[in-house]
Amino acid sequence: MEQYDLIILGGGPAGITAGIYASRKKLKTLLITKEFLGQVGLSWRIENYPGFPKINGRDLLKLFHNHLVQNEITIQNYEEAIKIEKLNTGFKLKTKEKEYNSLAIIIATGAELKKLNIKNEDRFIGKGISYCLTCDEKAFENKKVAVIGGGNTGAEAAISLLKFASEIYLLEYLDHLTCDEVLKEEIESQSRIQVITNAETLSFEGNEELKKIVYQERKTRKIHEIETDGCFIQIGVMPNTEFVKGLIDLNKKGEIISNLKTMETSHKGIFVAGDVCDFPFKQIIVAASQGASAALSAYLYIKELNN
Amino acid sequence: MTEKVKIKIYSSPDCSYCYVVKDYLSHQGIELEEIDLYEQPEKRQEMEEISKQKNIPVLIINDEIIIGWKKEKIDEALKKHGAI
Ligand SMILES: Cc1cc2nc3c(=O)[nH]c(=O)nc-3n(C[C@H](O)[C@H](O)[C@H](O)COP(=O)(O)OP(=O)(O)OC[C@H]3O[C@@H](n4cnc5c(N)ncnc54)[C@H](O)[C@@H]3O)c2cc1C
């Protein structure tokens, strides 16, 4: 059985930063990740990470990854953690392929994009509906497209679609867009983007392909239809915590409850960082900073165990 | 002699999951034919007809079609067709 001081789960900004910090503390570290992409790799335009006024997510992650591999660290890419078991000293981490032991663990498994779970959503995936803007936006050249979700991700999707789509509808459930003010201004200045607030999406309709989105105006309760060829669903994320349920405390949203000073979880020896924890702001810089804190706390914990 | 497995991907340079699928296959030492839909937009229709949908990446392993980044399905198909 391979034995490590520290196992880090996740290859996004949180896990990579934790890896850099841990290896510089000379901890024998293993980083396991399903892939080096995470959510950051899905972003086509990042403008709020210091030092990079405008960069796409994949390029930023590549720079993070290049930095990580300059350090002494073992990496298992394309493996998924499925279980953590407590041992007398430390933990056993199981992936679909293998098992590893360590004294401490940092969970940095981030989050996945959420589905709406409404009528005909599954039926039209690939037939108008997509969750990956960078993959599929070009399929809608000169077509009408809707984006559901008026947060930063949805607003950025609507702006990016200006390159291809003829008309863009941006549907938001609340009575206002929740994205950053700069994005709001950009959207308001674009005549090809129509913002529809108070919109509760009810269903997707069409025959072979998506043709209409049905929504209810939440104030008047009136039902409306939008004719559209495509729809990008960008309504937020769900934490990747299925594999630790029952082992550590989660909040109602399924996020790991953390001590934000130390990034400790409810289970001694297990630390957390990034979007998977219960900190309200989900951003690259926040994830990276928590990755650093978690690694430094894990270092102190391991040092104490070894004394 | 066993016949060589034919592996093809429909991708685009902006598509995040396309990179993951391509990297995963190259990680396994597997070669593939790439059709970049930005360079060859006329191939989009062919891709939509074969996969009966519009999203990418579309990976084709002999006659098996895998849409998106789905490691287990890729592994299964690679094994079934003797590529790994
Ligand atoms: C489209 C989009 C645009 C965004 N734009 C911005 C922006 O402009 N600025 C900004 O600051 N933030 C932005 N964000 C948010 C930002 O991407 C996240 O806050 C950040 O990526 C969180 O980093 P993380 O490391 O916690 O998680 P993630 O980036 O989600 O990475 C998690 C990692 O864990 C791996 N993983 C998951 N489960 C397992 C498992 N069981 N075993 C092993 N590995 C696992 C995943 O493969 C992945 O590598 C955006 C998000 C999206 C979706």
Residue A288 CB–ligand 1 contact under 6 Å: no
Closest residue by CA, ligand 1 atom 52:
A39
**Per-residue pLDDT at A22 exceeds 50:** yes
Query: What is the rounded CA–CA span in Å between residue A167 and residue A142?
Result: 8
Which of A289, A255, A274 is closest to A11 using CA atoms? A274
Contact B16 A139 (CB under 8 A): no
Site of tokens 């409404």: A118
pLDDT tens figures, A151-192:
999 999 999 999 999 999 999 999 999 999 999 999 999 999
Ligand 1 atom with the shortest distance to the CA of A14: 25
Ligand 1 atom with the shortest distance to the CA of A276: 26
Which pTM value belongs to this model? 0.96
Q: Which residues of A belong to the active site?
A: 132, 135-136
Domain map of chain A by residue range?
2-112+237-306, 129-233
pLDDT tens figures, B13-67:
999 999 999 999 999 999 999 999 999 999 999 999 999 999 999 999 999 999 9
**Per-residue pLDDT at A18 exceeds 80:** yes
Q: Does domain A2-112+237-306 have CATH number 3.50.50.60?
A: yes
Is A129-233 in the same CATH topology as A2-112+237-306?
yes
Average pLDDT, chain A: 97
**Per-residue pLDDT at B69 exceeds 50:** yes
Topology classification of domain A129-233: FAD/NAD(P)-binding domain (3.50.50)
Chain A touched by B43 (CB under 8 Å): no
**Per-residue pLDDT at B1 exceeds 80:** no
pLDDT tens figures, A66-125:
999 999 999 999 999 999 999 999 999 999 999 999 999 999 999 999 999 999 999 999
Query: What is the rounded CA–CA span in Å between residue A161 and residue A158?
Result: 5
Contact B14 A37 (CB under 8 A): no
Which of A100, A77, A101 is closest to A89 using CA atoms? A101
CA of A281 to the centre of ligand 1 (A): 13
Q: What DSSP string runs through A148-192?
A: E--SHHHHHHHHHHTTT-SEEEEE-SSSS--S-HHHHHHHHT-TT
Q: Which CATH superfamily is domain B7-80 in?
A: Glutaredoxin (3.40.30.10)
Whether residue A80 contacts residue A33, with contact meaning beta carbons closer than 8 Å, is answered with: no
CB nearest B54 (choices: A41, A58, A139): A139
ipTM (interface predicted TM): 0.94
Domain map of chain B by residue range?
7-80
Among all residues of chain A, which has the CA nearest to that of B38?
A: A138
Whether residue A154 contacts residue A179, with contact meaning beta carbons closer than 8 Å, is answered with: yes
| A50 upstream amide cis, omega within 30 of 0 | no
Whether residue A276 contacts residue A111, with contact meaning beta carbons closer than 8 Å, is answered with: yes
